[in-house]
Structure 1
Amino acid sequence: MPDVERERDPAAERTETHETALLGPAQIRALADRLGIRPTKQWGQNFVIDKGTVRRIVRTADVGTGDVVLEVGPGLGSLTLGLLPQVRRVTAVEIDPALATQLPRTVTEHAPELAARLEVVHTDALRVTALPDPQPTALVANLPYNVAVPVVLHLLATVPTLRSVLVMVQLEVAERLAAAPGSRVYGVPSVKAAWYADVTGAGRIGRNVFWPAPNVDSGLVRMVRRDPPEVSASREQVFAVVDAAFAQRRKTLRAALAGWAGSAALAEAHLRAAGVDPRARGEVLTVGDFARIAEAAGQRQSSTP
């Protein structure tokens, strides 16, 4: 049979581009040496050196050509290079000035055709109040362990265009974020994350995919944005109830919320008005339950002469 030219496979071509753009362990260490960079505990720097893990994160994030990805803590660019071929744009927020300066150079060196898709913002993610257009639709990041929960909650509150989140965090933190009511690890992060999104665990990551290797494993957490509970109470009012309920986990809600409400008797009145058993503990309540408690408190206070 005569030779027939094979039909081009765009998916295969994208995969090949993806492969050639990724950084391996030797490249990452060489780049760090060239820049005189040593990972610091202060900024929770553990760089991903495994290409398979990068591919797994990108695949699990389920982002596409219409997405603008917000990446926090891009470091030396391992995940950035994995994301750029798949999406419309990556806005990378980096606190380390040396890394923020180097990232565009790394992308230009390893994937020059994708350099225009990258925007680097040199700032602390916890100080972000506005981001350049186009606005991010997805957060995909390997987050520093020491600030993972505050960063996620801050960005969900600050960047309303975020529709999805896929972050790699310390395994214990991942389990807490995705915990359901009644779980042993259910707590403040679980409830506050649930205010914004449906949260699920998306897999475990071993410690040897990082340089330097941390002392614990990591976990992937996926969040899909949804509307918060429909109550008249504000997010701040609901979160105040959540904080008070878990400040003393062993106590009943009647006792734990006494300081927040003004007295145990007032706490019980708010709880009963919300349809919540005052003898229950915070770890069995849903985010909707906490929202109703805050709403009931507000309604009772406004009706008091």
Structure 2
Amino acid sequence: MWVVALTATVTFLAALALERARFDAGTVVALRTLTWITLVASTLWFLVRPLLRRVTDAQVAMYLEEHEPSLENSVTSVLDEGSGSASPALTHRVSEIALEQARRVQYGRRIERGGLYRFGGALTALAVLALFATLLGPAHLRLGLSALLFPTTAAESVNPYSVGVFPGDVTIARGSDQMVTATLDGFDASEASIFTKGESDQSFQRLSMLNDLDGGFEVLLLGVNEPTEYFVESTGVRSTTFTIDVADLPYVDQLTLTYHFPRYTGLQPRVIEAGGDVAALPGTIVELDIQPTMLTSAGQLLLDDVVVSDLT
């Protein structure tokens, strides 16, 4: 009874604690260890230890007669006669009387019957309470119990909460910008932060992320000039740590747009330096003059991530 009660209490409290720790892998391992140590220790103390204790015949006799007064010291009398110099006939007669009285009290079985019934009822009530708490309680309680009671499952894999990050590991051109987006899986939160550490930094730097239109978060890392580690965290749930590698790749340093308007407009060509977005009348031809950051042998023009032309 005590083994079950103590272990169940520790297990349920540990399962609730896992939610507060957001199922952190280290916390999962620690609370698993605590749960199973409690089970083993309580089993050794309340079950194994009493079984290893040696009990003498005299102690058993005194226990029986203390709880069954109707025995009238007959059991202890048998032990006394057996250890003394009484005649065999007297010893035999005393033994017969003791056996008869012991038979009437069912050999002491009823002494513990009431206690067993009480313990059985309490154990049943505890089991029913635990079952109702598990079935009707919050989902994270069931997840916590599962994480604790199956120690062979990897601690990282039992976490129902995660932060998805895009683009993850990536290689970009040195000095270019990088958009990072994050989505929350299994939970909701109003804010998220990105932590970055460049090759020359001593520690991670925190930067708040903005809410995007899809319910996630985003941030633009400007001018990444060196390999950078980063991860996203929200309400204690942390993503995997990713790496942005940089390489000396060509990218657009300056874009000049030349608009050739339709003849019916009567407009002269218009040149826009440091151009970007294109907005023009239907039929307008836009010429792109691209100055890369370094010499390159070829390039491509993409429209909605689809290659539409090679650059010359």
TM superposition score category, shorter chain reference: under 0.3
TM-score by length of 1: 0.23
Structure with more of its chain in strand, by fraction: 2
Structure with more of its chain in helix, by fraction: 1
TM-score by length of 2: 0.23
Task: Flag the structure with larger Rg.
Answer: 2
